[in-house]
């Protein structure tokens, strides 16, 4: 009882004290980048909302995922909340190497990207999600362009991912067709899903697709660094890439001037952490229930006050 | 061609016949030879053990990419102009553009605010929707008539009713900034080129490049130079929209009747007076055509601009489609079309204002002459004041917004579920019998033969000068190691252009046949051209899957317009006496079309073909989003990797293909005109 009261009182004190905390190092707006997937918008709006609660000014800027590094290096842009180890590692390492960009550490979310199929395929192709079972029904996925092989819809060429090598190493009867953009990727999934037609494609998560569509990732032999580097590893003794894709951190980065100009904000961003499940749930609220990103982010901020209060100490 | 063998008696025909007999030999021979080389390229390489025949060796490439990247790095970080960093210069320019833009955004969208971020306090509200609609309606009446006023009012009411108001105002704000800069800058450069010979000469190739290098290729350097945000988007838009204004200005000034210029000199005008008081005012109707072009191109850019920080309708389209919210994308896309229609009609009306209209407007007392300006001010004040209390007057109430999103979604879903197999069969047919063979033909051509064939074609069509140009440009593509990708580009564009012509030319003939079909066809192609291709790209992928076929549909849809327009224009501009003569000598309708009209409009069709090719090439970067493997993809990859050099090299290669096609067709059309005695 007393303990609860104490917490309540201190919370009250905090809220009362909040205006006093508004005395931050600089009122210059912190420019945070927005990209084109809902999860990133949520992460950014949550972080931005917390910074605003702390008294900072925040400005949101639409920027391309990779092209933004130029802006982060020059100080035009200040904070990018989601750089995925699976897609942005190279660009991030290069930017940090210039000394003008710093990492704010992992955000707690884990990127998963791999071959994925809708759950109605399990009836037509029993044995899924095992990759060998998938290979046995490669015929199911075949189209005019790829026959006699199955059609696997890969990500844009720029995403890399070594799918051609994986097909070769695991002896899969599939051919990769690259989508030019993730919009095209999900357009095909939507189309196939409406018709309950066979499809296997590259999906990444946290993403709305895994909450909108029912399905699972294909289970390849689990990734280990040795799999990509050492041909003798794994089921195929002569070739590398005979495993699934690596999973990795999602990291926040920013302009090197941020810790100098807004030390408190930099510390808060470093402290920021959220789980895959929380994020997927919120992404679902936005993309499935049609709620506004800002509302969902504001609700998270309201519900987790004691979590983020600790970040802005 | 059949009209040519009909009356061999005239000397013109005789001359053309000698030209005609050889062409079959030349073109047919070249085609067969090229096909053979393309088909057996692999065997030739094996037989001679010369792999360089099919793959241009990497060691021969001068590595343009990293050189350009290094140069850009130097330019952005170290280059100095009179002791000032180049970067600071571009940043200063960006500040100059940003100030008026912020002001317009304040007026139309956010209202005047003081302070930054959360501390900001709104001092003045933005213009209310009622005030903006009233203003455009008044402007509509001022420039033309009541019907114009109604059209403008309806267009802007549409934006409010369908819930696109705020985004549309943001887009309008960028149009209001980009158009004056592009049009004004274009006018000044055009005047300069008109006055100074060498400027004209130097500008020509630069204009060609500005119009043909895909915007994506220079987005990254622009971001470096002008910073992230709406200004970079505005700069890219201005670069894209300015060239037609420059060209139109030069043509318009040259077109001013000599008598008028003479008059100016006689009354003792100075050079400056001569230019700004005589030449420019009398060229004004034509100049307004240029302004109209600038407006349309600016609206064309909204999607790409939104990729680098411009908000508004383009951004809405982009985000809606990334979420697969097709309905949302179509709604925002149609709002762009509506905005384009309003601005297009308005600028056309302004160009066509008559002297009597102007005279009528300058009659009466002060209140009479300024009745519209006064009432606009009154409405702004009244809605502003009452709007503070009654919010429905300030912003259009959300409850009354009409949402059509679900309808579109259901329509696509219905087609997908019920007709996918039919569509798929049609697609497979076209792929097997048309696209794939064409692709095999082009992709198989080894670069040495390609270079030779292009040079020969240049020589044949336009003489040694053209041949040299073609040789150099093709050679540069080969040297940059992009030959294969360039051939993929030629294949995809070529196939699309053939199909676009096959659909477009009959449509054009139909449009020219009577006013009703003219209107319908006109509205159809206007919509196709202003509706951002992104809007239909995603449904197309849903129905036809990722691949060349989807890309081809998008290209055809966008590149259709000029084929239609030029065909219709050609038919309309045929001398009626010639048709009369045909009817008198007993031609049936079919004969009239085949033997007189079609041969007569051939040069016009070639120009239309030229434009179709240009538009097809400009679509390449967009189709890269659905997974093509051509130069467009190369540019797109460069953009996503922020690789300046790669983007510029691939972008220039696209431009070279465009320039080669343009020069060859121009020369061919010229030659054909000469033969028909029309030159």
In this prediction, residue B395 has a pLDDT band, given cuts at 50, 70 and 90, of confident
ipTM over 0.85: no
Residue A234 near residue A168, CB atoms below 8 Å: no
Rounded to a whole number, what is the distance in Å from the CA of B545 to chain A's nearest CA?
Answer: 6
Residue B481 scores a pLDDT above 60: yes
The pLDDT of residue B553: 92
Q: How far apart are CA B347 and CA B340, in angstroms?
A: 11
The pLDDT of residue A262: 92
The pLDDT of residue B679: 46
The count of C-alpha atoms lying within 13 angstroms of the C-alpha of B347, restricted to the half-sphere facing its C-beta, is 22
E strand or H helix at B588, and its extent?
Answer: none
CB contact under 8 A, A187 and B538: yes
What is the DSSP code (8-state) at residue A220?
Answer: P
Task: For B190-241, write each residue's pLDDT tens digit.
Answer: 999 998 889 988 888 888 888 888 888 888 888 888 887 788 889 999 998 8
| DSSP string covering B354-397 | -HHHHHHHT-S-HHHHTHHHHHHHHHHHHHHHHHHH-HHHHS--
CA-CA-CA-CA dihedral for B15, B16, B18, B19, to nearest 10: 130
Which of A195, A111, A104 has the alpha carbon at shortest distance from A161? A111
* Fold: same for B2-51+440-675 and B167-353: yes
The pLDDT of residue A260: 92
Residues of B in contact with A31 (CB under 8 A): 228
CB contact under 8 A, A66 and B541: no
Range of weakest confidence among A63-77, B104-118, B127-141:
B104-118
Residue B454 scores a pLDDT above 90: yes
CB contact under 8 A, A184 and B420: no
What is the SS3 assignment for B52-109?
HHCCCCHHHCCCHHHHHHHHHHHHHHCCEECCEEHHHHHHHHHHHHHHHHHHHHHHHH
Residue B604 scores a pLDDT above 90: no
What average pLDDT score do residues B434-439 get? 89
Residue B366 scores a pLDDT above 80: no
Residue A115 scores a pLDDT above 90: yes
Residues of B in contact with A191 (CB under 8 A): 416, 420, 541-543, 545
Task: For A144-157, write each residue's pLDDT tens digit.
Answer: 777 788 899 988 87
The pLDDT of residue B120: 67
Which of A86, A310, A129 has the alpha carbon at shortest distance from A216? A129
What average pLDDT score do residues B344-359 get? 76
Q: How far apart are CA B535 and CA B557, in angstroms?
A: 12
Q: What is the architecture of the domain spanning A111-229? A: 3-Layer(aba) Sandwich (3.40)
Residue B537 near residue B550, CB atoms below 8 Å: yes
Residue A188 scores a pLDDT above 70: yes
* Out of B228, B432, B537, closest to residue A61 by CB: B228
What average pLDDT score do residues B479-497 get? 92
The pLDDT of residue A244: 87
* Out of A29, A143, A185, closest to residue B116 by CB: A29
Task: For B230-272, write each residue's pLDDT tens digit.
Answer: 888 899 999 988 988 998 898 888 888 888 888 888 888 888 8
Residue A77 near residue A71, CB atoms below 8 Å: yes
CB contact under 8 A, A144 and B432: yes
Q: Show the tokens assigned to B108.
A: 């139309």
Q: How far apart are CA A215 and CA B135, in angstroms?
A: 53
CB contact under 8 A, B627 and A180: yes
The pLDDT of residue B118: 59
Residue A11 scores a pLDDT above 70: no
What average pLDDT score do residues B333-343 get? 90
| DSSP string covering B216-273 | HHHHHHHHHHH-SSHHHHHHHHHHHHHHHHHHHHHHHHHTS-HHHHHHHHHTT--HHH
The pLDDT of residue A148: 82
The pLDDT of residue A162: 84
Q: How far apart are CA B419 and CA B461, in angstroms?
A: 46
Residue A248 near residue A108, CB atoms below 8 Å: no
Residue B579 scores a pLDDT above 90: no
The pLDDT of residue A257: 92
The pLDDT of residue B119: 61
Q: Answer with the residue of higher pLDDT: B316 or B3.
A: B316
Q: How far apart are CA B664 and CA B659, in angstroms?
A: 8
Residue B659 scores a pLDDT above 60: yes
Region B167-353: CATH code: 1.10.3720.10
What average pLDDT score do residues B370-393 get? 76
Q: Which of A102-116, B36-50, B136-150, B566-580 is modeled with the greatest confidence?
A: A102-116
Phi, psi of A234 (to 5 degrees): 85, -170
Residue showing tokens 């609860």:
A4
Q: How far apart are CA A161 and CA A154, in angstroms?
A: 9
What average pLDDT score do residues B566-577 get? 85
Q: How far apart are CA A176 and CA A156, in angstroms?
A: 11
The pLDDT of residue A78: 93
Q: What is the mean pLDDT of chain B?
A: 84
Q: How far apart are CA A259 and CA A100, in angstroms?
A: 12
Which of B91, B100, B288 has the alpha carbon at shortest distance from B177? B100
Q: How far apart are CA A295 and CA B398, in angstroms?
A: 17
Q: How far apart are CA B278 and CA A126, in angstroms?
A: 82
In this prediction, residue B569 has a pLDDT band, given cuts at 50, 70 and 90, of confident
**Domain ranges for chain A:** 30-107+248-311, 111-229
The pLDDT of residue B452: 92
CA-CA-CA-CA dihedral for B247, B253, B256, B258, to nearest 10: -120
Q: What three-state secondary structure class fits A238?
A: coil
Residue A2 scores a pLDDT above 80: no
Q: Answer with the residue of higher pLDDT: B85 or B5.
A: B85
Task: For B396-432, write each residue's pLDDT tens digit.
Answer: 877 777 877 788 888 888 888 888 888 889 988 988 8
Residue B268 near residue B334, CB atoms below 8 Å: no
Residues of B in contact with A76 (CB under 8 A): 227-229
Q: How far apart are CA B241 and CA B97, in angstroms?
A: 16
The pLDDT of residue A117: 94
CB under 8 A, 24+ apart: contacts of A13-17: A14/A309
In sequence order, the 6+-apart residues with CB closer than 8 A to the CB of B97 are B177, B181, B231, B234, B235
Task: For B612-621, write each residue's pLDDT tens digit.
Answer: 898 898 888 8
What is the DSSP code (8-state) at residue A67?
Answer: T
E strand or H helix at B133, and its extent?
Answer: helix B129-143
CB contact under 8 A, A74 and B636: no
In this prediction, residue B658 has a pLDDT band, given cuts at 50, 70 and 90, of very high
Q: How far apart are CA B474 and CA B491, in angstroms?
A: 16
The pLDDT of residue B21: 54
CB contact under 8 A, B637 and A70: no
Which of B220, B223, B74 has the alpha carbon at shortest distance from B643? B220
Residues of A in contact with B416 (CB under 8 A): 191, 194-195
| Residue A122 CB burial class (10 angstroms; 0-12, 13-18, ≥19) | middle
Residue B5 scores a pLDDT above 50: no
Q: How far apart are CA B607 and CA B601, in angstroms?
A: 10
Q: Answer with the residue of higher pLDDT: B350 or B161.
A: B161
Residues of A in contact with B431 (CB under 8 A): 144-145
What average pLDDT score do residues B583-595 get? 85
CA distances from A64 to A83, A266, B220, B237 (A): 12, 22, 10, 17
Task: For A194-206, write each residue's pLDDT tens digit.
Answer: 889 999 999 988 8
In this prediction, residue B177 has a pLDDT band, given cuts at 50, 70 and 90, of very high
The pLDDT of residue B499: 94
Mutate to test the interface with B, among A184, A204, A207, A284 (most CBs of B within 10 A): A184
The pLDDT of residue B678: 59
CB contact under 8 A, B642 and A69: yes
Rounded to a whole number, what is the distance in Å from the CA of B309 to chain A's nearest CA?
Answer: 5
Range of weakest confidence among A258-267, B140-149, B433-442, B466-475:
B140-149
| DSSP string covering B475-540 | HHHHHTT-HHHHHHHHHHHHHHHHHHHHHHHHHHHHHHH-HHHHHHHHHHHHHHHHS-HHHHHHHH
CB contact under 8 A, A179 and B626: yes
pTM of the model: 0.82
Q: What three-state secondary structure class fits A124?
A: helix
CB under 8 A, 24+ apart: contacts of B265-272: none
The pLDDT of residue B384: 75
Residue B170 scores a pLDDT above 80: yes
Range of weakest confidence among A176-190, B75-89, B105-119, B158-172:
B105-119
Q: How far apart are CA B495 and CA B290, in angstroms?
A: 31
- Topology of the domain covering A30-107+248-311: D-Maltodextrin-Binding Protein; domain 2 (3.40.190)
Residue B128 near residue B145, CB atoms below 8 Å: no
Quick one: residue A127, left, alpha or beta (phi over 0 = left, psi -120 to 50 = alpha)?
left
In this prediction, residue A209 has a pLDDT band, given cuts at 50, 70 and 90, of confident
Q: Which CATH number fits domain B2-51+440-675: 3.30.70.100, 3.40.50.970, 3.50.50.60, 1.10.3720.10?
A: 1.10.3720.10
| Percent of the residues in chain B that have a pLDDT greater than 90, as a whole number | 16
């Amino acid at each position: 009882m007393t303990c609860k009261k104490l917490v309540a009182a201190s919370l009250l004190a905090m809220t009362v004290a909040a205006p006093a905390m508004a005395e931050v190092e600089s009122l210059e707006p912190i420019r945070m980048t927005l990209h084109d997937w809902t999860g990133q918008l949520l992460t950014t709006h949550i972080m931005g909302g917390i910074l605003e609660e702390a008294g900072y000014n925040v400005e949101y800027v639409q920027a391309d995922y990779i092209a933004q590094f130029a802006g982060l290096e020059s100080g035009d842009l200040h904070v990018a909340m989601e750089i995925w180890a699976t897609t942005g590692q190279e660009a991030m390492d290069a930017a940090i190497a210039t000394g003008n960009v710093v990492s704010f550490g992992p955000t707690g979310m884990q990127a998963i990207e791999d071959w994925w199929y809708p759950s109605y395929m399990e009836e037509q192709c029993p044995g899924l999600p095992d990759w060998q079972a998938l290979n046995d029904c490669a015929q199911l996925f075949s189209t005019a362009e790829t026959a006699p092989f199955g059609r696997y819809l890969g990500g844009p060429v720029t995403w890399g991912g070594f799918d051609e090598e994986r097909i070769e190493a695991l002896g899969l009867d599939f051919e990769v067709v690259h989508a030019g953009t993730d919009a095209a990727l999900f357009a095909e999934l939507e189309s196939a899903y409406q018709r309950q037609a066979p499809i296997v494609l590259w999906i990444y998560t946290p993403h709305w697709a895994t909450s909108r569509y029912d399905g699972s990732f294909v289970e390849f032999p689990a990734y280990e660094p040795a799999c990509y580097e050492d041909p003798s590893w794994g089921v195929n003794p002569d070739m590398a890439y005979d495993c699934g894709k690596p999973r990795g951190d999602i990291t926040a980065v920013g302009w090197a001037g941020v810790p100098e100009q807004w030390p408190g904000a930099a510390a808060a961003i470093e402290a920021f952490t959220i789980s895959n499940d929380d994020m997927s749930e919120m992404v679902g609220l936005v993309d499935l229930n049609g709620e506004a990103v800002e509302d969902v982010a504001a609700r998270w901020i309201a519900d987790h006050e004691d979590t983020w209060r600790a970040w802005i100490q | 061609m059949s009209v040519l063998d009909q009356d061999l008696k005239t000397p013109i025909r005789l001359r053309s016949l000698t030209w005609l007999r050889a062409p079959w030999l030349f073109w047919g021979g070249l085609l067969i030879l090229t096909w053979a080389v393309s088909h057996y390229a692999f065997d030739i390489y094996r037989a001679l053990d010369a792999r360089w025949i099919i793959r241009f060796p990497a060691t021969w490439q001068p590595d343009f990419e990293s050189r350009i990247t290094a140069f850009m790095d130097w330019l952005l970080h170290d280059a100095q102009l009179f002791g000032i960093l180049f970067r600071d210069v571009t940043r200063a320019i960006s500040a100059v553009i940003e100030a008026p833009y912020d002001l317009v955004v304040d007026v139309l969208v956010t209202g005047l605010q003081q302070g930054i971020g959360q501390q900001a306090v709104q001092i003045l509200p933005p213009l209310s929707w009622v005030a903006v609609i009233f203003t455009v309606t008044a402007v509509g009446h001022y420039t033309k008539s009541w019907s114009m006023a109604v059209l403008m009012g309806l267009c802007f009411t549409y934006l409010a009713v369908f819930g696109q108001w705020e985004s549309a105002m943001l887009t309008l704000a960028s149009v209001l900034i980009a158009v004056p800069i592009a049009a004004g800058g274009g006018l000044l450069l055009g005047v300069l080129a008109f006055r100074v010979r060498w400027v004209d000469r130097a500008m020509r190739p630069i204009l060609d490049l500005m119009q043909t290098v895909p915007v994506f290729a220079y987005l990254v350097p622009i971001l470096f130079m002008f910073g992230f945000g709406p200004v970079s988007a505005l700069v890219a838009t201005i670069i894209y929209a300015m060239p037609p204004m420059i060209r139109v200005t030069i043509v318009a000034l040259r077109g001013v009747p000599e008598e008028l210029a003479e008059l100016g000199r006689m009354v003792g005008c100075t050079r400056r007076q001569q230019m700004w008081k005589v030449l420019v005012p009398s060229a004004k109707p034509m100049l307004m055509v240029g302004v109209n072009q600038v407006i349309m191109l600016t609206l064309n850019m909204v999607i790409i601009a939104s990729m680098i920080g411009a908000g508004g309708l383009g951004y809405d389209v982009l985000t809606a489609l990334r979420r697969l919210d097709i309905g949302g994308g179509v709604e925002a896309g149609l709002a762009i079309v509506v905005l384009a229609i309003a601005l297009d009609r308005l600028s056309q009306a302004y160009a066509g204002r008559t002297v009597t209209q102007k005279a009528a407007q300058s009659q009466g007392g002060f209140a009479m002459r300024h009745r519209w300006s006064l009432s606009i001010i009154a409405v702004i004040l009244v809605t502003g004041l009452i709007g503070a209390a009654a919010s429905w007057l300030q912003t259009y109430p959300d409850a009354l917004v009409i949402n059509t999103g679900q309808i579109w979604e259901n329509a696509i879903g219905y087609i997908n579920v019920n007709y996918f197999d039919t569509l798929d069969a049609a697609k497979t047919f076209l792929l097997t019998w048309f696209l794939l063979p064409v692709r095999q033909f082009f992709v198989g051509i080894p670069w040495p033969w390609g270079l030779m064939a292009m040079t020969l074609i240049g020589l044949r069509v336009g003489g040694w000068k053209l041949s040299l140009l073609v040789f150099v440009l093709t050679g540069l593509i080969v040297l940059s190691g992009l030959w294969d990708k360039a051939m993929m580009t030629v294949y995809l564009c070529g196939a699309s252009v053939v199909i676009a012509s096959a659909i477009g030319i009959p449509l054009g003939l139909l449009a020219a046949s009577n006013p009703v079909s003219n209107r319908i066809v006109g509205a159809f192609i206007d919509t196709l051209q202003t509706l951002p291709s992104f809007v239909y790209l995603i449904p197309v992928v849903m129905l036809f899957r990722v691949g060349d076929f989807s890309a081809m549909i998008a290209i055809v849809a966008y590149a259709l317009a000029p084929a239609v327009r030029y065909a219709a224009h050609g038919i309309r501009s045929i001398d009626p006496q010639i048709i009369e003569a045909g009817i008198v000598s007993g031609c049936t309708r079919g004969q009239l079309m085949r033997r007189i009209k079609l041969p007569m409009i051939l040069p016009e069709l070639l120009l239309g073909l030229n434009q179709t090719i240009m538009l097809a090439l400009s679509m390449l970067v967009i189709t890269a989003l659905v997974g093509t493997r051509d130069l467009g993809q190369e540019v797109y990859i460069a953009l996503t990797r922020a690789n300046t050099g790669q983007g510029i090299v691939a972008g220039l290669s696209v431009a070279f293909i465009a320039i080669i096609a343009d020069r060859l067709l121009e020369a061919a059309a010229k030659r054909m005109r000469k033969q028909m005695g029309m030159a």
